[in-house]
Amino acid sequence: MEKLRIGIIGCGGIANQKHFPSLSQLKNECEMVAFCDIVVERAEKAAKEYGSADAKVYTDYNELLKDESIDIVHVLTPNVMHSPITVATFEAGKHVLCEKPMAHTTEAAQAMMDAWKKSGKKFTIAYQNRFREEVQSLYQSCQKQELGDVYFAKAHAVRRRAVPTWGVFPDKSQQGGGPLIDIGTHALDLTLWMMDNYKPVSVTGSVFYKLGSLPEAVEGNMFGPWDPETFEVEDSAFGYVKMENGATIFLESSWALNVSESKEAAMTLCGTKAGAEIKAGMSYKTNELIYNSARNGMLMEQKNSASGNIAYFEGGSNAPGVLEAKQWLDAVKNDKEPLVKPEQAFIVTKILDAIYKSAETGKEVLFDKE
């Protein structure tokens, strides 16, 4: 069986934490043959540790894209580069997996969608939390309508003090935003997917720059102190989303918030037949799935637990990152649709962008009905 040849653009944190270890477990299906990073030492290190015998190293992604032997490109760069690199990759005739979020603005995401549709290639966004065991279980329940009509939901992405202090996370010019675009995107993706509802009509948002610039707020941060002088992005953001069918979603996101409980890539669903909640994040040793309903005159709760923590990607063959990579390679090789569809990821970016715009203007953002 011929292996798929993968080129990597961006050899930083997410590449080393998730993509490199995951793809290295699938050596029968693929090989990493090219590595690109603006810091050449990072690309050289990745090629040495994970690359094929003939792996090449680049500092200019345009040079990597000239290699006609490459089948797939993984775009693992800071957010603002997702769109131009993805567009160029489709124009070069290659399949694309892009790290979340799709882009930092709706306009940038639309350019990616347009290029993809012209290319005839496969496209997906790396929302690996969909592959968690308890998430998959709840999704099956939603598909079977076991919750009934889910008309209210909360998307949780709140940390008490876990501001990322590495890379370019506080740099607005490279990331486009803070926790909303970084971890809020996961929670919103999961919630929309569970509801199977991708038709927003309005968004109201609040964005706060409260704790990031306070020297005293860095105390107790899980990843060590950050520099308040260079903290350019929001530390918290919240959104109220109304859907075409009347359903409502509340999204909360923060890297630093004075709360006692941290919930991340988690959600609460309220339906006409039952409710469900996934509890995950740094306050939980294991991810929990809890159903609530009424039975025989009593209110009942059913609890299921799954192993793992969303903050880490290492693990065996059932780790979310490995499962994500495996289904993606299968989609390319066997002409299947990937689990994360570009159209779905586009709506996530559209809503996140609207939250920022609503907070900036102080007005509700309205969308045209499709």
User: Do 132-310+346-366 and 4-129+323-340 fall under one CATH topology?
Assistant: no
Which CATH fold topology does 4-129+323-340 show?
A: Rossmann fold (3.40.50)
The SS3 call for residue 368 is coil
Answer yes or no: are the C-beta atoms of 55 and 33 closer than 8 Å. Answer: yes
At residue 354, the pLDDT reads 98
- Topology (CATH level 3) of domain 132-310+346-366: Dihydrodipicolinate Reductase; domain 2 (3.30.360)
3-state secondary structure of 42: helix
CB 235 within 8 A of CB 255: yes
In the chain, which residues have pLDDT < 70? 1, 305-317, 370
CB atoms within 10 A of CB 214: 13
* Cis bond before residue 101 (omega within 30° of 0): yes
* Placement of tokens 């306070």 in the chain: 214
CA–CA separation, 352 vs 106, rounded Å? 9
d(CA 137, CA 128): 15
pLDDT of residue 306: 57
Instruction: Specify the pTM.
Output: 0.95
Q: Where exactly are the structural domains of the chain?
A: 4-129+323-340, 132-310+346-366
d(CA 212, CA 153): 28
Question: What does the pLDDT look like over 185-231, one tens digit per residue?
Answer: 999 999 999 999 999 999 999 999 999 999 999 999 999 999 999 99
> φ and ψ at 76, to 5 degrees?
-125, 40
In whole angstroms, give the CA distance from residue 333 to residue 346.
24
Give phi and psi for 242, each to the nearest 5.
Answer: -110, 135
pLDDT of residue 295: 87
The pLDDT assigned to 314 comes to 46
Quick: pLDDT tens for 300-344. 899 986 554 444 444 456 799 999 999 999 999 999 999 999 999
